[in-house]
Structure 1
Amino acid sequence: MESNSLKEVQAVYKQLLDAWNNRNARGMADLFTEDGESIGFDGSQSVGREEIFSHLNPIFEHHQTARFVSKVNDVHFLSSDIVILRAIAGMLPPQSNDINPNVNTHHTLIVVKKEGNWRIQLFQNTPAQFHGRPELVEQMTEELKALLKEL
């Protein structure tokens, strides 16, 4: 697929993380399609921009949230206007410079192009606990820690 579209899709994901890291619920919600869906780390499901905003806003208002650090692992074009982006992400707790391996996650996004703009149709934030396989948690954590050197 066209490299410009690839860059645009990756930019949407970066904007999503930047909005989270800046505690900007409106900025996050506006990246979704009107009927977009967000499935949070705890399984919370929000459908539609306003519901996504209503879910995120109190989190940012009442909690010090950790910052995401991420690495895109795959961008797969299903068509010229539908893309699946997969990434791994870790979180830096407030006042910390180290990844908390207990909240490593897989990010999966379905991004669609509507009216010339890329928007998120689905964002799923799945815990990467690898039950019974601590070496996989450690491997992912080390991969994410390597990204901290680039910040």
Structure 2
Amino acid sequence: MSHEATEAAAIRERMQRLYECWNQGDAQAYAACFTEDVDYVAFDGSHIQGRQANAEAHQALFDGVLRGSQLDGEVKSLRFLAPDVALIHTEGVIKLRWQRKAPKGRRSIQTMVAVKREGVWFFTAFQNTRIQPPNAFARFMLRLMTPKRSAAR
């Protein structure tokens, strides 16, 4: 296995650890997968800065509305920007404790930056965006921006 493949496997293992911590409702362990100075942007646009703030925000969620929730996710792409820096795209969805399966409308895509520090991969940036089809206004704007093709005569 190449060095890059070995590092990619280590990052994927770290992602699995992240999912496990979420599914256990362990906010401290979840936050420990991130750097001390993490920038974490949630699906609603809220920006959490720092590992401790991340742990506190997630503990409130795990104690409240997301108690017993399950995070299901997968790495869609992973690209090294430097030997110790990687860009990762994942897709995931949260199943709430009373749901048999997660609604498709809640799928999100995440952009993450991982850094290797003292031999361990940590996530230092996280951006979560809900995947949703364009609404009527967005479809109208896309039509306006698409160049019109002249009819052949």
Q: TM-score range by the shorter chain?
A: 0.7 to 0.9
Equivalent residue, structure 1, for 2:4:
2
CA deviation after TM superposition for structure 1 residue 71, in Å: 2.2
RMSD: 1.7
CA deviation after TM superposition for structure 1 residue 24, in Å: 0.9
On the 8 A contact 1:111/1:121 being kept in 2, the answer is yes
CA deviation after TM superposition for structure 1 residue 70, in Å: 1.6
Match of 2:94 among 74, 78, 91: 91
Is residue 58 from structure 1 mapped to residue 60 from structure 2 by the alignment? yes
Question: Secondary structure in 2 aligned to 1:126?
Answer: strand
- How high is the TM-score relative to the length of structure 2? 0.79
Q: How does 1:2-151 map to 2 (within 5 A)?
A: 2-63=4-65, 64=67, 66-132=69-135
CA deviation after TM superposition for structure 1 residue 42, in Å: 1.4
Q: Separation in 2 of the partners of 1:42 and 1:128?
A: 12
For 1:101-125, what per-residue CA distance to the aligned partner results, in whole angstroms no more than 9, with x for missing partners? 2211001110000121111111221
CA deviation after TM superposition for structure 1 residue 36, in Å: 0.9
Question: Secondary structure in 2 aligned to 1:17?
Answer: helix
Q: Separation in 2 of the partners of 1:127 and 1:52?
A: 19
Aligned partner letter, 2:74: K
Gaps of 5+ in 2: 137-153
Question: Secondary structure in 2 aligned to 1:2?
Answer: helix
Q: How many residues align?
A: 133
Gaps of 5+ in 1: 134-151
Q: Separation in 1 of the partners of 2:103 and 2:81?
A: 33
Equivalent residue, structure 2, for 1:142:
none
Q: Could you tell which deviates more after superposition, 22-31 or 88-97?
A: 88-97
User: Which structure has the bigger radius of gyration?
Assistant: 2
Q: Separation in 1 of the partners of 2:83 and 2:130?
A: 30
